[in-house]
């Protein structure tokens, strides 16, 4: 009788079947919540995973029960070997998806379709061109907007991720929801989270309760439909009656979804993070390049996962800078 290959289960009984792989630390936008204005030190190219290494590492995770892989960045599509990466990963028995800012995604429609990438998350924090320019420090709103419409037309399952910040874009929440009236897209409002260099504090955050207060004021109670959340979902999902699309809130700060978390993150330079909030990392790439097994490192990292938010199990702890200032900036973790 064959020995069973262990799944990636932590000490809290959570099985990890979802791997997010960052392909690159660079991006063609400069979003303020993701990257400090002065930029960030980037890993030398020799420190980044090659496409062969990405595939070899992914195979190990799939062997241990991973069934879903999402490619992130930076902007993953600016990596020159993205067609090869997609082709290799699509050969694995996983659901393959990608997160993009959609600036250049129109050039990759056929490649995405060819490799079965149907689920695309697009980062978009404003439907106002000037606000978009302010938050991204680039003038690309029209291109992104048109590419979102193109993705919908081409039949992709599109989700829009909007990071909410007080006194910046919370006045667009209802506008975003109206955007789902005639388009089969899902808008997801994300609570502003702390990362190195993004000047986070609680006063800038728009909470789940804040969002729903605005929604309840804008729509009749009978028109607000609470949807059934998928297993291991990070979001609380809703739709407005008779609208084609839906909206959701990812409340990682005020209502964390840690109890059902099944996610692991692999950075572009081959570090495994068992939680987005944790500053701890496990070096997989060095061991792989030395020709040794990475499985013990993966299992140890999963076993070390905290029950809640990298150990910050209260809002008071989350507000202590020393507990999250050692975490990377978002662009070097992977969106």
**pLDDT, position 28:** 67
Q: Which of 49-58, 165-174, 213-222, 313-322 has the lowest mean pLDDT?
A: 313-322
Full strand arrangement of the beta sheet holding 271-273: 224-226, 236-240, 246-250, 186-191, 157-164, 119-123, 95-100, 68-72, 18-22, 263-266, 271-273, 282-283
- Provide the 8-state DSSP code for 132: H
Residue 140 half-sphere exposure toward CB, CA atoms < 13 A: 19
**For the segment 214-271, what is each residue's pLDDT rounded down to a tens digit?**
999 999 999 999 999 988 888 999 999 999 999 999 987 776 668 888 999 999 999 9
Q: Which residue has the higher pLDDT, 19 or 328?
A: 19
Q: Which of 113-117, 162-166, 256-260, 262-266 has the lowest mean pLDDT?
A: 256-260
Q: Is the pLDDT of residue 331 over 60?
A: no
What mean pLDDT is predicted for residues 164-185? 95
The mean predicted confidence, pLDDT, of the chain is: 87
Q: Is the pLDDT of residue 167 over 70?
A: yes
pTM given for the model: 0.88
Handedness of CA 207, 210, 212, 215 (dihedral sign): negative
**pLDDT, position 257:** 65
**For the segment 83-111, what is each residue's pLDDT rounded down to a tens digit?**
999 999 999 999 999 999 999 999 999 99
What mean pLDDT is predicted for residues 8-28? 91
**pLDDT, position 286:** 97
Q: Which of 53-57, 114-118, 190-194 has the lowest mean pLDDT?
A: 190-194
**For the segment 121-159, what is each residue's pLDDT rounded down to a tens digit?**
999 999 999 999 888 877 899 999 999 999 999 999 999
**pLDDT, position 247:** 98
**pLDDT, position 248:** 97
Whole-angstrom Cα distance, residue 120 to residue 160?
Answer: 9
Strands 224-226, 236-240: pairing kind: antiparallel
User: Nearest 5°: CA angle at 230, between 224 and 234?
Assistant: 85
Retrieve residue 204's tokens.
Answer: 């800038």
Tell the residue number behind the tokens 């949807």, with chain if given: 227
């Amino acid at each position: 009788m064959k020995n069973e290959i262990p799944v990636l289960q932590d000490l809290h009984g959570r099985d990890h079947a979802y791997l997010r792989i960052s392909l690159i630390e660079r991006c063609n936008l400069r979003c303020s919540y993701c990257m400090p204005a002065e930029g960030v030190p980037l890993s030398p190219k020799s420190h980044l995973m090659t496409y062969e290494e990405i595939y070899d590492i992914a195979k190990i995770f799939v062997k241990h029960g991973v069934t879903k892989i999402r490619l992130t960045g930076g902007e993953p599509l600016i990596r020159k070997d993205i067609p090869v990466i997609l082709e290799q990963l699509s050969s694995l028995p996983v659901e393959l998806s990608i997160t993009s800012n959609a600036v250049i995604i129109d050039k990759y429609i056929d490649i995405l379709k060819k490799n079965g990438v149907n689920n695309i998350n697009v980062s978009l924090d404003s439907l106002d061109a000037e606000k978009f320019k302010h938050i991204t420090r680039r003038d690309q709103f029209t291109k992104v907007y048109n590419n979102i419409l193109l993705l919908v037309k081409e039949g992709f399952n599109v989700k829009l991720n909007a990071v909410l910040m007080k006194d910046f874009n919370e006045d667009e929440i209802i506008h975003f929801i109206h955007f789902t009236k005639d388009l089969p897209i899902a808008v997801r409002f994300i609570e502003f989270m702390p990362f190195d260099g993004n000047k986070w504090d609680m006063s800038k955050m728009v909470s789940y309760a804040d969002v729903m207060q605005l929604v309840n004021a804008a729509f009749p109670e009978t028109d607000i439909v609470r949807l059934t959340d998928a297993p291991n979902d990070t979001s609380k999902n809703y739709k407005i009656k008779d609208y084609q699309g839906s909206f959701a809130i990812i409340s990682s700060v005020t209502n964390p979804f840690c109890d059902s978390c099944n996610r692991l993150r692999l950075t572009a330079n081959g570090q495994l993070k068992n939680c987005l909030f944790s500053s701890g990392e496990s070096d997989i790439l060095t061991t792989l390049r030395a020709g040794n097994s990475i499985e013990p490192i993966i299992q140890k990292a999963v076993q070390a996962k905290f029950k809640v938010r990298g150990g910050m199990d209260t809002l008071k702890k989350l507000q202590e800078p020393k507990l999250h200032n050692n975490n990377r900036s978002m662009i070097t973790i992977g969106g």
